[in-house]
Amino acid sequence: MFDWLIVGAGFAGSVLAERLASQRNERVLLIDRRPHIGGNAYDRYNDAGVLIHQYGPHIFHTNSEAVFDYLSQFTRWRPYEHRVLAEVDGLLVPIPINLETVNRLYGLSLDSDQLAQWFASRAERCDEIKTSEDVVVSTVGRELYEKFFRGYTKKQWGVEPSQLDKSVTARVPTRLNRDDRYFSDAYQFMPLHGYTRMFERMLDHPNINRMLNTDFDDVRNEVSYRRLIFTGPIDEYFNFRFGKLPYRSLRFEHITLDKPRHQPVAVVNYPQTHAYTRVTEYKHLTGQEHPKTSLTYEFPTDDGDPYYPVPRAENAEIYKRYEKLAIAQQNVRFVGRLATYRYYNMDQVVGQALATFRRIAKEIPLSDAAFDTASVAAE
Ligand code: FAD
Ligand code: UDP
């Protein structure tokens, strides 16, 4: 008898497996339908020996000291500040849009005050900022919106920015200075030996049993467990009772080139051209020295593995109905990006999993067996 069955070995499932096993001495069965741990953060060495991210670029950044300290138990870090260029009107310019972006694109030499006026004269008045279009046109005006955001967003999400919640494009700030970093969080690092190695260390505990290539449906009636943690898509768990929740997917095209470097930064965005949204060259992220280099092209699709919940009001309504059912489930917890239908970054999922653990610790007494062993261990 397992104390917990955990479905999904991404950040949500792995953090909870680690906490329950190490802090409560409970027996955990962690399953994933994929052949590996790490969920979408999984990385691996390809045939050429270059470390790549199987599911596109994953850059760790957080303002949470607690999340950073927690993960630091399982990895050392490599300082890395992410920088992105966008190909716009045939030029490679920095995104987030900043002083340098505007000066380069328009052949100007504005300072920060002048840029503020430049934006103000172009920004459109918007009484209530609701959509992903509103956020951008009310800050930098329609022309830069068209150049940087409209095409990229239509490719990425399959809908106009006006059809998406403001939170989507609000992820990308606008700056008046020359700060061209993609993120401004206090902690910006990559796991020194990669994500998969970090997950290996997290899950290296005698109380954690893993089964890969295993779907929840394969085992739900085969193994006995007291409680369940589900980190897959919530609509799937409830057999799509209220209809399918849309998740946007991607097709990844991984290539390796016979040269050490291909592009000047880790990620180049293509808001105006091509069917792909962005191209990632991993060696910038990982710091790996290698005579070859590997890149990934991301082609957004509707079909395929669920990667992105789609933030818009009508989907939030459907999710709320599922959430109501979820709350009513005895002995089941829903955690993570797919199970809570939130466009969360890795650090937010870790924070959510740690908070779930704290609630479990408060609400659920230790099982007899775990209690016995825990007290023996403490003696
Ligand atoms: P997942 O990683 O999706 O794990 C869920 C796991 O559950 C999966 O492995 C799945 O196979 C398994 N599963 C689902 N259903 C079942 C079932 N029925 N039976 C068995 N197994 C099941 N975040 C950042 O912080 N920085 C970034 O730079 C970043 N870049 C990203 C780039 C891309 C292209 C994508 C898609 C995401 C990115 N993210 C990034 C977000 C990050 O991937 C997520 O926040 C995080 O991985 C979510 O973890 P999770 O455990 O909730 O979900
Ligand atoms: N975005 C855009 N152009 C860009 C970068 C981002 O239009 O050059 C929009 C797009 O809608 C994207 C969103 O901003 O989905 C959030 O960007 P982010 O880089 O955070 O996306 P993620 O890394 O999560 O795919």
Instruction: Characterize the bridge pairing of strands 60-62 and 51-53.
Output: unpaired
Confirm or reject: Cβ of 160 under 6 Å from ligand 2: no
Ligand 1 atom closest to Cα of residue 337: 52
Q: How many CA atoms lie within 13 A of 340 on its CB side?
A: 17
pLDDT digits (tens, 9 = 90+) for 187-227: 999 999 999 999 999 999 999 999 999 999 999 999 999 99
Residue type, 33: R
> Which of 40, 53, 189 has most ligand 1 atoms within 8 Å of its beta carbon, as the pocket-test mutant?
40
Report CA(220)–ligand 2 centroid distance (Å): 37
Question: For the segment 327-339, what is each residue's pLDDT rounded down to a tens digit?
Answer: 999 999 999 999 9
pLDDT at 365: 87
Q: Is 49 helix (H, G, I), strand (E, B) or coil?
A: coil
Lowest-pLDDT range, 137-141, 319-323, 351-355, 370-374? 370-374
Distance of CA 138 to the CA centre of its chain: 27
- Please name which of 190, 200, 183 lies closest in space to residue 286, comparing C-alpha atoms: 190
- Angle between helical axes of 195-202 and 11-24 (0-180°, round to 10): 30
- CA–CA gap between residue 171 and residue 345 (Å, rounded): 11
Which ligand 1 atom is nearest residue 308's CA? 36
Q: What is the pLDDT of residues 250-309, one digit of tens each?
A: 999 999 999 999 999 999 999 999 999 999 999 999 999 999 999 999 999 999 999 999
Does the model's pTM come out above 0.85? Answer: yes
Strands of 60-62's sheet in order across: 60-62, 187-191, 77-79
**Ligand 2 center to residue 152 CA distance, Å?**
7
Q: Distance from first CA to last CA of the chain, Å, rounded?
A: 25
Which CATH number applies to 2-37+203-245+309-376?
Answer: 3.40.50.720
Note the pLDDT of residue 52: 98
CATH 3.40.50.720 domain residues, the chain? 2-37+203-245+309-376
> Predicted confidence band at 376 (pLDDT cuts at 50, 70, 90)?
very low
